[in-house]
Amino acid sequence: MAGVSQGEAEFAYDMQTNRYQAPAVPDLHPLKIGAWRAPNAHTNAFARESQLDALAAKAGLDPVTLRRRLANDPRLLRLLDLAVETFGWEPAPGPTGRGIGLACGAWRQALVVAVAQVAVDKATGKVRVERFLEAVDVGLVVNPDGARQQVEGAITMCIGQALSEEIRFKGGHILDKNFDTYLLPRFSAIPRIQVVFADSGTTTTQGIGEPPVVPVAAALANAVFDATGARVTHVPFTPERVLEALKRVPAK
């Protein structure tokens, strides 16, 4: 991982070998930068969960079965079951053409499982998010309505991050200076959002502001693969990048 700490990279999967490398890159950011919600965790989850999805497809496994085999945390296993059941999804090895993707994430002691459904216009490369669910375990939820709004806001924010928000440079000049080209998600881009909280049976409460952002981009990328067979690995998934990914899909 370049330009991001390996902090928050570790996750509750049981693998024989884990190696995390985060080399320092001098002068990588010539401009002053600020923090992102769940810094490092969302970037690392995007890489990890995209790779796991690719491994599942190569092994002929559905993405949920692979994660159940690897998960060593009973909280995560319960959360996977809750997400799949609430979504009403019968996972199958991808790509299935249904456009459903899953990803898991963690922030501190909180766990999140996201399930996304997308439609991809193969002629234009445009991705439309049709449905998004997050199953969240943050321990005791003190204010359910406020917590739900935090999750809905995080999903909305990350739909923009994953699909449209980008600052472009050319010849040392910033090209995107206003919201006519830096595209925040409009109301029309927001899908049906479902939020479900796990009953973890604990009185301990974790923060809710940052965990929900962690798996969003990965779930959307995996949904694009399930819809088309194309892997998008560069955020945001602009129509141009999706079209380039579609060109790399082997002909049947």
pLDDT tens for each residue of 149-163: 999 999 999 999 999
User: Any bridge partners for residue 150, and if so which?
Assistant: none
pLDDT at residue 71 greater than cutoff 80: yes
The pTM assigned to this predicted structure is 0.93
Domain residue spans in the chain? Answer: 41-247
- CB atoms closer than 10 angstroms to residue 210: 21
pLDDT of residue 37: 86
Two tokens, residue 193: 């959002």
Beta-bridge partner residues of 132: 116, 193
CATH topology of domain 41-247: Aldehyde Oxidoreductase; domain 4 (3.30.365)
Structure tokens at 61: 């496994």
What does the alpha-carbon distance between residue 75 and residue 107 come to, in Å, rounded to a whole number? 14
Question: pLDDT higher for 250 or 245?
Answer: 245
C-alpha–C-alpha distance, residues 8 and 53, integer Å? 19
Q: What is the pLDDT of residue 203?
A: 75
Catalytic residue among 8, 10, 210, 240: 210
103-159 pLDDT per residue, tens: 999 988 899 999 999 999 999 999 999 999 999 999 999 899 999 999 999 999 999
What per-residue confidence (pLDDT) applies to 93?
94
152 is a catalytic site residue: no
| Cβ atoms 99, 117 nearer than 8 A | yes
Q: Centre a 10 Å sphere on the Cβ of residue 207 and count the other Cβ atoms it contains.
A: 14
